[in-house]
Amino acid sequence: MDTQLDWSAYDSYGAGDAYAALPSAGGAYGKAAAVCIGNRQCQRTEKGVMCPSFRATQDAKHSTQHRAATLKAALNGEYGPQPFIGPELEAAMDLCVGCKGCKRECPNGVDMALLRIEALAQRWNAGAGVPLRERMLANLPRLAPWLQYLDWFLRLRERLPILARWGERWWGIAARRSLPRGAARSFLSYAPRAAVGAAEGRELVLLVDTFSNHFEPANAQAALDVLLAAGYRVHIARPVEGKRPLCCGRTFLSHGLVANARTEAMHVVEALTPYVERGLPVIGLEPSCLLMLRDEYYALGLGPQVEKIAKAALLLEEFLAKEHEAKRLDLALRPLPHSHVLVHGHCHQKAFGAMKAMRKVLGLVPELKVEFIESSCCGMAGAFGLEAEHYEMSMRMGELALLPQVRQSSPQTLLIANGVSCRHQIRDGAQRESLHLAQILQAALAGDDPKPA
User: Does 288 interact with ligand SF4 (rule: CB under 6 A)?
Assistant: no
User: Does 379 interact with ligand SF4 (rule: CB under 6 A)?
Assistant: no
Return the range that interacts with ligand SF4 (CB under 6 A); candidates 60-68, 264-272, 331-339, 424-432: 60-68
User: Does 177 interact with ligand SF4 (rule: CB under 6 A)?
Assistant: no
Number of Cβ atoms within 10 Å of the Cβ of 185: 11
Which residue from 3, 4, 53, 409 is in contact with ligand SF4, where contact means CB under 6 A? 53
Rounded to whole angstroms, what are the CA distances from 186 to 140, 353, 443? Answer: 14, 31, 21
Separation CA 194–CA 390 (nearest Å): 44
Which is nearer to ligand SF4, 32 or 336 (by Cβ)? 32
Which residue from 5, 33, 34, 68 is in contact with ligand SF4, where contact means CB under 6 A? 68
Rounded to whole angstroms, what are the CA distances from 82 to 4, 44, 78, 128, 258? Answer: 16, 32, 10, 10, 20
Which is nearer to ligand SF4, 261 or 333 (by Cβ)? 261
Which is nearer to ligand SF4, 393 or 445 (by Cβ)? 393
Shortest approach of ligand SF4 to residue 279 CB, angstroms?
33
Which residue from 33, 34, 92, 106 is in contact with ligand SF4, where contact means CB under 6 A? 106
Number of residues interacting with ligand SF4: please give it, by CB under 6 A. 28
User: Does 102 interact with ligand SF4 (rule: CB under 6 A)?
Assistant: yes
Which is nearer to ligand SF4, 33 or 285 (by Cβ)? 33
Which is nearer to ligand SF4, 29 or 319 (by Cβ)? 29
Return the range that interacts with ligand SF4 (CB under 6 A); candidates 106-114, 138-146, 184-192, 435-443: 106-114
Kindly identify the residues of this chain, within the stretch 1-40, that bind ligand SF4 according to CB under 6 A. 36-40
Shortest approach of ligand SF4 to residue 358 CB, angstroms?
20
User: Does 67 interact with ligand SF4 (rule: CB under 6 A)?
Assistant: yes
Which is nearer to ligand SF4, 37 or 341 (by Cβ)? 37
Return the range that interacts with ligand SF4 (CB under 6 A); candidates 46-54, 255-263, 355-363, 403-411: 46-54
User: Does 382 interact with ligand SF4 (rule: CB under 6 A)?
Assistant: no
Which is nearer to ligand SF4, 51 or 416 (by Cβ)? 51
User: Does 110 interact with ligand SF4 (rule: CB under 6 A)?
Assistant: yes
User: What residues does 417 pair with on adjacent strands?
Assistant: 344
Shortest approach of ligand SF4 to residue 101 CB, angstroms?
3
Which is nearer to ligand SF4, 110 or 206 (by Cβ)? 110
Residue ranges in contact with ligand SF4 by CB under 6 A: 36-42, 50-53, 64-65, 67-68, 96-102, 106-108, 110, 112-113
